């Protein structure tokens, strides 16, 4: 079992309700979407950059693809981990490896929620789900109906249970269709513990504060809604 991984490192979660917890990060290569605001390289890379000493900035280049044992051994080198963040790109593309992954800390899946068959394959392995909702004009596709059907189905599959916490994250720009957000939230509110509004970091695309607060106020009538920016960019960690 092998997968291409661009980075592996230990840092803290910078987004959502688990901001500040210490995690090991596995950044998988490849994505099925092309979102307008994405700032993460997703094309195939020859080597995985492995930071063995957290925060050192010193990386060892390990040839891709990595075996399942490689990944498990590298993750086990980190101590005092709250969870292992499976991120990307889109980690669900690598569901076969994730299904077999055997590490002690629980798995924290960061996903675009558009691959329901792969979500079903690994649902029982996952303890935390940070599920994106990709809105019209952002995800780089034309069939918004099919896209949203897949998103809703993923939230149903990966829903909050006694064993798993699932929340949704919405990146908000000045052009975000807020009415569409309300429609989506009506469909998934029973599946999630909270919604997180994440202001986009690019200043030219950022929403104004008043609009964010008005959106939060309306959503709070049905679901716990938080406004949380990308905190890791504030203090310069990975």
Whole-model pTM? 0.93
What is the pairing mode between strands 83-87 and 22-28? parallel
- pLDDT grade, residue 203 (50/70/90)? low
The set of residues, in sequence order, having a beta carbon less than 8 Å from that of 77 and lying 6+ positions away, is 52
| Interatomic CA distance for residues 110 and 117, integer angstroms | 16
Specify if 84 maps to a domain.
yes
Q: What is the CATH number of the domain that holds 58?
A: 3.20.20.70
CA dihedral 130, 137, 157, 124 (to 10 degrees): -40
Pair of tokens at residue 194 = 């909270």
What's the pLDDT score for residue 146? 86
Q: What is the overall mean pLDDT for the chain?
A: 91
What's the pLDDT score for residue 235? 77
Span 126-179, pLDDT tens digits: 999 999 998 776 666 557 778 889 999 999 999 999 999 999 999 888 888 888
| Interatomic CA distance for residues 102 and 106, integer angstroms | 10
Specify if 174 maps to a domain.
no
Question: Residue 105: which domain range?
Answer: 2-169
What's the total number of domains in the chain?
1
Given a cut of 80, is residue 84 above it in pLDDT?
yes
Q: Looking at residues 213-218, what average pLDDT do you find?
A: 96
Q: Looking at residues 58-85, what average pLDDT do you find?
A: 97
Instruction: Flag the least confident range among 86-90, 116-120, 124-128.
Output: 86-90
Q: Looking at residues 191-206, what average pLDDT do you find?
A: 85
More confident residue, 103 or 208: 103
What's the pLDDT score for residue 202? 65
Q: Looking at residues 84-97, what average pLDDT do you find?
A: 96
- Helix 209-219 with 178-188: angle, nearest 10 deg: 30
Span 8-65, pLDDT tens digits: 999 999 999 999 999 999 999 988 777 665 656 556 689 999 999 999 999 999 999 9
What's the pLDDT score for residue 2? 94
Are 78 and 52 contacting, i.e. CB atoms less than 8 angstroms apart?
no
The tokens 């979500």 sit on which residue? Answer: 119
What's the pLDDT score for residue 222? 93
Specify if 236 maps to a domain.
no
The set of residues, in sequence order, having a beta carbon less than 8 Å from that of 142 and lying 6+ positions away, is none
Specify if 196 maps to a domain.
no
| Interatomic CA distance for residues 22 and 36, integer angstroms | 29
Specify if 221 maps to a domain.
no
Give Dmax (Cα) for the chain: 50
Specify if 190 maps to a domain.
no
Specify if 199 maps to a domain.
no
Specify if 6 maps to a domain.
yes
| Interatomic CA distance for residues 91 and 115, integer angstroms | 10
Region for 100 from its dihedrals, namely left if φ exceeds 0, alpha if ψ lies in -120 to 50, beta otherwise: alpha
Given a cut of 90, is residue 207 above it in pLDDT?
no
DSSP helix, strand, coil percent of the chain (3-state; round to 5): 30, 25, 40
């Amino acid at each position: 079992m092998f997968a291409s991984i661009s980075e592996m490192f230990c840092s803290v979660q910078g987004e959502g309700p688990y901001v500040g917890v210490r995690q090991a990060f596995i950044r998988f290569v490849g994505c099925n979407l092309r979102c307008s605001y994405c700032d993460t390289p997703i094309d195939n890379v020859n080597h995985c950059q492995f930071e063995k000493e957290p925060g050192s900035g010193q990386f060892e280049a390990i040839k891709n693809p990595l075996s399942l044992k490689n990944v498990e051994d590298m993750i086990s080198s980190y101590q005092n981990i709250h969870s292992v963040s499976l991120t990307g790109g889109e980690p669900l593309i690598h569901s076969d490896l994730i299904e077999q992954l055997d590490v002690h800390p629980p798995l924290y899946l960061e996903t675009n929620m558009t691959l329901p068959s792969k979500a079903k394959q690994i649902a029982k392995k996952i303890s935390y789900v940070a599920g994106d909702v990709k809105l019209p004009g952002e995800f780089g596709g034309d069939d918004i109906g099919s896209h949203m059907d897949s998103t809703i189905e993923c939230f149903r599959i990966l829903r909050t249970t006694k064993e798993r916490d699932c929340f949704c994250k919405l990146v908000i720009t000045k052009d975000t269709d807020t009415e569409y957000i309300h429609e989506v939230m009506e469909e998934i509110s029973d599946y999630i513990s909270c919604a997180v509004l994440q202001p986009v970091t690019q200043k030219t695309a950022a929403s104004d504060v008043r609009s964010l607060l008005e959106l939060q106020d309306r959503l709070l009538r049905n679901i716990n809604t938080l406004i949380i920016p990308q905190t890791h960019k504030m203090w310069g960690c990975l």
